[in-house]
Structure 1
Amino acid sequence: MDRLIYTAMTGAKHILEQQATTSHNLANSTTTGFRAQLDSFRAVPVISEGLPTRAFVVDATVGTDFSTGSLQNTGRDLDVAIQGKGWLVVQADDGSEKLTRHGSLKVSENGVLQTQSGLNVVGDGGPITIPPEVTIAIAKDGTISSIPMGTKPNAVQVLGRLKLVNPPESNLVRDSDGLFKTADGVNADADAAVSVAGGMLEGSNVNVVESMVTMINLARQFELQMKLLTNAESNATKASQILALS
């Protein structure tokens, strides 16, 4: 009974946490470049002075589904999608490099290429500056070219190249801002094998139907844990009654 209480209690607690993770994934099912979060449970024995009969449940890992999402054609010059594996590099507020698959870019008031949230996009030589009144084209290798409006198409000027990286997925962690970074804190090197598609965006990799089924299963599991706690309370009451009679 003692073991049952600990297992059911902690199981119910972490099922609620996993339900919150699933809800978060569903809320981001239309977020560009979003990567679904994953949870897993494991049993851990309770370390105490008594007998090792008790165990509880912990959230062993909070991982990420790195599978790619579907590409959507937008026709916008500053939209870019990673084809296959790889990441765009952006500069965080503290100056560190973060990784994202959200390729909807914009040009700031100062002419700096940024994400929609205002983070500078990192190029091979640092931030990329876009001159005014030009047409932008992004090549497959991340090279950004401009054509001044009103001139011949052959008057092309290379402005820079996106820093595209592909570090091992085992070395990536999700930060509190939703962006990814390397677990060891070392900036990833540019990878020439990573390619992009201009005028396109990558959708979220969240499967809405699968997430809805998961939420239903988690709700049923939570009800089961509550029933186990009720049974444990009933067993304790009956045991007390038997001991009182003896």
Structure 2
Amino acid sequence: MDNALMIGLSRQLTLRREMEITANNIANANTPGFHVETLLMRSQNADTARAQDGPQQLQYVDAWGVGRDFREGPLDFTGRPLDVALEGDGFFQIEGADGEALYTRDGRFRLDSEGRLSSADGAPVLDDLGAPILIEAALGEVMITEDGALVQNNAEIARLGVYRFDDLALLEKSGNGRYAAGEAQADIAADATVRQGYVETSNVQPILELTRMIETMRAYESVSRFLSQGEEANRKAIERLGRA
């Protein structure tokens, strides 16, 4: 395959993946606790097509991962007593479908039919000991302190499990704004502050993402023109050789 065509196709593949990530960021601009993502790229050496002269290696573009910006998003006041947000580093711990611990910044909690504190889609919220949190609604309103204690009738009934990680790059995305710890070590986030009645919104900046989308589209079109020009040049060269 022609070297220029190989380089152009590698670039188009990364641009397509970049467009998918940007579109996903825009789609989640209003998703609580969502963290903006960026495609990580690097140059990669590869042998050229066989030739008698010219360079022996070329530089291709390779997409090797996705980076996430874990900076805190703006806090939105809701006034709902079971909505909570975190200021500072940390994640709430919830129980996944397979019983594994998952971590999220989405604090839109509620009570399920069994009196368990649950996420918006019904996953149990875990306390600082890794157990589900049970609340008896008949005992009155629940107050949540800045250190994550749930207080009812002036008595602490549970404490939210809030954890931090030294290496956020080791977290594994599991969908719905949640992460599995993977090889990362979870520690109690002693410095995190819990805000009752607030929800952390997405840290996506839509204008920046729309601008990035336009730039990606223009880059893709530019590479397409480059490939078309290369194909046309090859066609003319073959025609000249055929007439020779």
**One-letter amino acid matched to 2:88:** G
C-alpha distance in structure 1 between counterparts of 2:67 and 2:10, whole Å: 20
* Structure 2 match to 1:63: 67
How far did residue 164 of structure 1 move?
0.7
User: Are residues 1:196 and 2:200 paired?
Assistant: no
Q: Percent identity, aligned pairs only?
A: 27
Whole-angstrom CA distance in 1 between matches of 2:183 and 2:195: 30
Partners of 1:6 and 1:54 within 8 A in 2: no
Deviation at 1:9, TM superposition (A): 1.2
Post-superposition CA distance 1:53-92 (Å, at most 9, x none): 4554321221111111111111110010000211111111
Q: 1:95 aligns with which of 91, 96, 99?
A: 99
Residue 151 (structure 1) aligns with: none
Superposed displacement of residue 119, structure 1: 0.9
> Which residues of 2 match residues 225-236 of structure 1 at below 5 A?
225-236=223-234
Aligned to 1:175, what secondary structure does the other structure show? Answer: strand
Give the match for residue 220 of structure 2. 222
- 1:213 aligned onto 2:211: yes
C-alpha distance after superposition, 1:152-191 (max 9, x if no partner)? xxxx1211000111102232232244411223165x1222
Measure the CA separation in 1 of the matches of 2:173 and 2:128: 24
Post-superposition shift, 1:239? 1.8
**Residue equivalent to 1:146:** 152
CA shift in 2, pair 1:217/1:123, >3 Å: same
Q: How many residues align?
A: 237
Q: Which SS does the other structure have where 2:151 is aligned?
A: strand
Structure 1 portions without partners, runs of 5+: 148-155
Number of the residue aligned with 1:78: 82
Q: Distance in 2 between matches of 1:175 and 1:87?
A: 14
CA distance in 2, matches of 1:239, 1:143: 76
**TM-score after normalising by structure 2:** 0.90
User: Which residue type is aligned with residue 82 of structure 2?
Assistant: L
Q: Which moved more, 1:164-173 or 1:222-231?
A: 164-173
- Alignment gaps of 5+ in structure 2: none
Q: After superposition, what is the alpha-carbon deviation per residue over 1:87-121, rounded to whole angstroms, capped at 9, x for unaligned?
A: 11111111111110000101111111110111111
Q: Give 1:22's aligned residue.
A: 22
Q: Is the 1:6–1:55 contact (alpha carbons within 8 Å) kept by the matching residues of 2?
A: no
Pair 58,16 (structure 1): closer, same or farther in 2 beyond 3 Å: same
Residue by residue over 1:130-170, the C-alpha shift from the partner in whole angstroms, topping out at 9 and shown as x without a partner, is 012220111000000113xxxxxxxx121100011110223
Matched, 1:182 2:181: yes
For the residues of structure 2 that align with 1:63 and 1:173, how far apart are their CA atoms? 11
User: Which of the residues 114, 117, 127 maps onto 1:113?
Assistant: 117
CA contact (8 A) 2:46 2:59 kept: yes
* AA in 1 matched with 2:34: F
User: Which SS does the other structure have where 1:102 is aligned?
Assistant: coil
AA paired with 1:172? L
Q: Give the distance between the partners of 1:178 and 1:74, measured in 2 at CA.
A: 20
Structure 1 CA distance, aligned partners of 2:234 and 2:71?
48
What letter matches 2:32 in structure 1?
T
More divergent stretch after superposition (211-220 vs 7-16): 7-16
